[in-house]
Amino acid sequence: MLRIRLVEEEIARRYAAQQMRCPVHLSIGQEAPAAAFGFALTAEDQALSTHRSHAHYLGKGGDLNAMIAELYGKATGCCGGRGGSMHLSDPRAGFLASTAIVGNSIPLGVGVALAQQLRGDKTLTCVFFGDGATEEGAFYEAANFAALRQLPVLFACENNLYSVYSPLSKRQPASRDLCVLAEALGVPAVRVDGNDALAVEAAAEQAVAAIRAGGGPRFVECTTYRWREHCGPNYDDELGYRPEGELAAWQARDPLPRLARTLSLTEADQQAMAAEIAAEIGLAFELALAAPYPDASTALDGIYRTELAS
């Protein structure tokens, strides 16, 4: 979790240099679910995510160097520069992909789970998405099918209260409870404090165990909060789309010191961890900056797996 935070802060710090030329959506403040689900899943389990996916990718064990290079559009990026921040992938870590259209990867995850079930694998698929995605038809349609076929899929919903600048109050009735909604669709659901890493981990472990036991899909709602702007490296609270004091209240619930306290980590422990991580991050940026861009002449390669003679 500390590693995710430090990576994202470094991205934010360097974004102004205009060398990461793609939109970036940071998870600073809401890293706990990514880290906790990552712990609960094995490398064989699959994960999919959204536009805001750096944390999920790293939590699942995705390669840091390949992610940073992808943000710089370099040939060494995890998609060779074709995808950028919103399209990450690391098959070796079981991070199938993130995609940039809201709700878009939820049915994909259910489809992967269908294949897992048909193959008789012991693996499952975890789909990360935000509160906004629960408003897309694709969510209902996919969750319904997952329930119908009792598929091994874990719906990990990070409810950070906003879709861009739109608060939940403008998008869903005040009485809405996402867990009740999921249950109504036939998916057992639980809500957890998304800024409490250990609580999320416990909920994730339980859901994973139930799914592995053949219990069908599970839905875990993690309540959390995005600190910085929806897209980009800065804070944007001065725009006034969030009530005064809301950010501060959530910052006071920063998941990192909370976990450090619970684990009784000393200042020195934390500094040692941060130093080790900083070295790793420094190297990732160094490598990314030094790497070449993919050759422009390759831009049209690989549209098909099987090229047909023209």
Ligand X SMILES: Cc1ncc(C[n+]2csc(CCOP(=O)(O)OP(=O)(O)O)c2C)c(N)n1
Closer residue to ligand X (CB): 131 or 254? 131
The yes or no reply on residue 27 touching Mg ion (CB under 5 A) is no
Cβ neighbours for 70, distance < 8 A, ≥ 6 positions apart: 77, 78, 79, 81, 83, 84, 85, 87, 88
299 binds, among another protein, ligand X, Mg ion, none (CB under 5 to 8 A by kind): another protein
| Nearest CA-CA partner of 132 in 215, 200, 51 | 51
The yes or no reply on residue 164 touching ligand X (CB under 6 A) is yes
What six digits make up the tokens of 61?
A: 């064990």
The yes or no reply on residue 296 touching another protein (CB under 8 A) is yes
| Nearest CA-CA partner of 4 in 306, 224, 246, 273 | 273
Closer residue to another protein (CB): 23 or 282? 23
Stretch in the footprint of another protein (CB under 8 A) among 54-62, 145-153, 237-245, 254-262: 237-245
* 281 vs 136: CA distance, rounded Å: 36
Amino acid at 291: A
Closer residue to another protein (CB): 111 or 294? 294
The yes or no reply on residue 224 touching Mg ion (CB under 5 A) is no
Stretch in the footprint of ligand X (CB under 6 A) among 156-164, 182-190, 265-273, 285-293: 156-164
The yes or no reply on residue 221 touching Mg ion (CB under 5 A) is no
The yes or no reply on residue 133 touching ligand X (CB under 6 A) is yes
CB of 162 to ligand X, least distance (A): 5
Q: Which of 37, 57, 95, 162 binds ligand X (CB under 6 A)?
A: 162
52 binds, among Mg ion, another protein, ligand X, none (CB under 5 to 8 A by kind): ligand X
* Site for another protein, residues 241 to 280, rule: CB under 8 A: 241
Phi/psi for 213 (5° steps) reads -80, 5
Q: Is the dihedral of CA 65, 103, 190, 141 positive or negative?
A: negative
The yes or no reply on residue 89 touching ligand X (CB under 6 A) is no
* Site for another protein, residues 71 to 90, rule: CB under 8 A: 73-75, 77, 79-87
The yes or no reply on residue 109 touching Mg ion (CB under 5 A) is no
**Which stretches of the chain bind another protein, using CB under 8 A?**
15-16, 18, 21-24, 73-75, 77, 79-87, 99-103, 132-133, 135-138, 163-166, 170-172, 231-232, 239-241, 292-300, 303
**Which stretches of the chain bind ligand X, using CB under 6 A?**
51-52, 100-102, 129-133, 160, 162-164, 230
